[in-house]
Structure 1
Amino acid sequence: MVRLTEQYERVFRCFDEDGDAEATHALTGGELVLQEVEVAVESLDSDGDGLLCLEDFIGFMEGRAEEEKMGDLREAFGMYVTDGRRFITSETLKRMLSRLGQSKTVDECEAMIGHFDLDGDGVISFDEFKVMMM
């Protein structure tokens, strides 16, 4: 099984046309103007040499993956949250599980929430949801 870092390295190498272990095209996809590339490289350039090295690229890709994961988690959390609330209650959990074909009682849902309710308030916040899902 290929590790994610190895996959990033293979992608980076595709954009490192002259083999000098530096690439800006990998960041831009060739669609940004020079000024945008300079700003992007400056924000990612960990050693201040004005170049994007493999480690900078991996950091960028891992950051994007983390942002995407958080977006997915927020979307999933939103499916359980209703009535404008910012947390999952036993009632909203019961409702969502029912939609998914799992019949649970409110008491069963309270017990499920109790496993991940880190602050003991009887509901699941987004931060608790993240812990539960990871």
Structure 2
Amino acid sequence: MAEYKQHQRLFDRFDENRDGKISAEELQQCVHLIGKDMSYEEAKAAVEHNDSDNDGLLDFEDFVRLIEGGSEEEKAHELKEAFKMYEMEGCGCITPESLNRMLSRLGESTTIDECRGMICRYDIDGDGLLNFHEFEIMMRC
């Protein structure tokens, strides 16, 4: 019950025009307000992926599904797909170079050294790469 109230408060905060639905623009703006970056394209994709009635907006149930992340099976599949996007060299790991390339595609300007630092935080075995298990840990943090 407390979780439902928390979800409702959060939904109400995101629903700026109080129409009972959250648009991609509202989602993007509110995510930005809490200190996270989300492009309009990412917000639109999130809305499209979770929009159960195909009206281009999230109702409360859609929103809850979005923030809870779907079923465990869906989460595992999405994590594997995300890993594949970053792991571009066919080695089964994310390298500083592949991370740099993917971040560049997403519009982030980073150096290889910065990417090494990002990887280092979650590199459990100390090989300078992220395997799927380490990537999974990173994504859950």
TM-score by structure 2 length? Answer: 0.50
Deviation, 1:133, is 0.6
Tell me the matched-pair count: 74
CA offsets 1:30-70 (integer angstroms, 9 cap, x no match)? xxxxxxxxxxxxxxxxxxxxxxxxxxxxxxxxxx8111101
Pairwise CA distance, 1:127: 0.4
For residues 51-103 of structure 1, the C-alpha deviation after alignment (integer angstroms, 9 at most, x for no partner) is: xxxxxxxxxxxxx8111101000000100011222000000000000001111
Specify the SS of the correspondent of 1:98. helix
Per the alignment, residue 79 of structure 1 pairs with 85
SS of match in other structure, 2:121: helix
Q: Which amino acid aligns with 2:109?
A: S
| Matching residue within 109, 121, 125 for 2:127 | 121
**2:32 corresponds to:** none
Aligned-partner Cα distance in 2 for 1:84–1:98: 19
Find the aligned partners of 1:125 and 1:67 in 2 and give their Cα distance.
Answer: 20
Letter in 1 for 2:113: D
Q: Aligned Cα RMSD in Å? A: 1.6
TM-score (normalised: structure 1): 0.52
- Correspondence for 1:2: 4
Q: Give yes or no for contact 2:89–2:98 (8 Å, CA) kept in 1.
A: no
**d(CA) in 2 for partners of 1:77, 1:93:** 10
Structure 1 gap ranges (5+): 4-63
Larger radius of gyration: 1
